[in-house]
Amino acid sequence: MSARILDGNRIRDEIKAELAGEIGGLKAAGITPGLAAVLVGDNPASQIYVRSKVKTSESLGLYSEKVEWPATASTQQLLDLIASLNARDEIDGILVQLPLPPQIDAKQVLLAIDPAKDVDGLHPVSIGNLVSGRPGLVACTPAGIIEILVRSRIPIEGARAVVVGRSDMVGKPVAILLLARNATVTVCHSKTRDLAAVAREADILVAAMGRPAFVTADFIKPGATVIDVGINRLTTAGEVRQVFHDASGPLRDLESKGSVLVGDVQPEDAREKAGAFTPVPGGVGPLTIAMLMANTVQAARLRRGARSARRSLVSS
């Protein structure tokens, strides 16, 4: 019996419908949440991501602004820009698209963002609020993972959760969010001994290490919920054959599209052994932009004193 597919597109659409109602209510009260997206350089993937974020914000009725700078921009220029956006009352959220060009001190730029406008949830103040259970803005992908679990009625309280990956953007914050909902959480990484054995103990397994199809059947407890955060692009037939047990379909996709997307979990193994899993694409990915929109609305409420309509992600 195949595992249940957790449809991120459906959950994204649910959240967007809820947000549209919230935004309408805020506008009736004279508040239009505003998002500024900062793009530096001409990275094609970054351009696509920013375009999608701006398009989504506009479709929901948010005020959105895209600020583009050349790849030659300096750290000080970015700091001056952030200072000007911090000072503008109509801007509730500031998003700096990563990665930044190598000459820019990305940490310094992100630290300069007003924590009240940190819709990516990466500022130390945002992380501190998350750890201490205070209201605040939560990193978008981890927040989306919790939405998938809650809206799919996957029990978190009392569950054994294993997070493979300890990044500041995903691994650490999702571990804190799971812990806040009373899961027993283990965070694994490249130095973890017998990683597969630890992962097999998980009722909820979150794979977020950025290695294509790294998590195989040996990592998955039968019936576990597997959340695949990875997005890896395969561009050669050899890579496709190495990842997939039955490569015939993916090879056709490679021929027609030029690449094949795969997560950090071997998809055929997840389908056969897990109880539920997020596909790639169409799983966690769609939730990231939806939660960015939710954070922008939340930032507008917190900054302007409006009572929050959204439940806290850190409450059970």
Per-residue model confidence (pLDDT) at position 147 = 98
Instruction: Look at residues 61, 2, 37, 75 and name the one whose alpha carbon lies nearest to residue 222.
Output: 2
For the beta sheet containing 276-277, the strands, ordered from the edge strand earlier in sequence to the opposite edge, are 4-5, 276-277, 225-228, 204-207, 160-164, 184-188
Domains of the chain in sequence order:
34-134 (3.40.50.10860), 140-286 (3.40.50.720)
In three-state secondary structure terms, 156 is coil
pLDDT in tens, 64-109: 999 999 999 999 999 999 999 999 999 999 999 999 999 999 999 9
What does the alpha-carbon distance between residue 68 and residue 37 come to, in Å, rounded to a whole number?
8
pLDDT in tens, 141-200: 999 999 999 999 999 999 999 999 999 999 999 999 999 999 999 999 999 999 999 999
What does the alpha-carbon distance between residue 166 and residue 44 come to, in Å, rounded to a whole number?
27
Per-residue model confidence (pLDDT) at position 305 = 78
Per-residue model confidence (pLDDT) at position 180 = 96
Percent of the chain with pLDDT over 70: 96
Helix, strand, coil share of the chain (percent; to 5): 45, 15, 40
pLDDT in tens, 277-316: 999 999 999 999 999 999 999 999 988 875 544 555 654 4
pLDDT in tens, 199-218: 999 999 999 999 999 999 99
- Burial of 89 (C-beta count, 10 Å sphere; 0-12/13-18/19+): exposed
Per-residue model confidence (pLDDT) at position 314 = 54
Alpha-carbon separation of residue 180 from 14, 154, 157, 184, 241 (angstroms): 24, 15, 9, 10, 40
CB atoms within 10 A of CB 76: 11
Per-residue model confidence (pLDDT) at position 225 = 98
Residues designated as active site = 53, 97, 120
pLDDT in tens, 109-155: 999 999 999 999 999 999 999 999 998 899 999 999 999 999 999 99
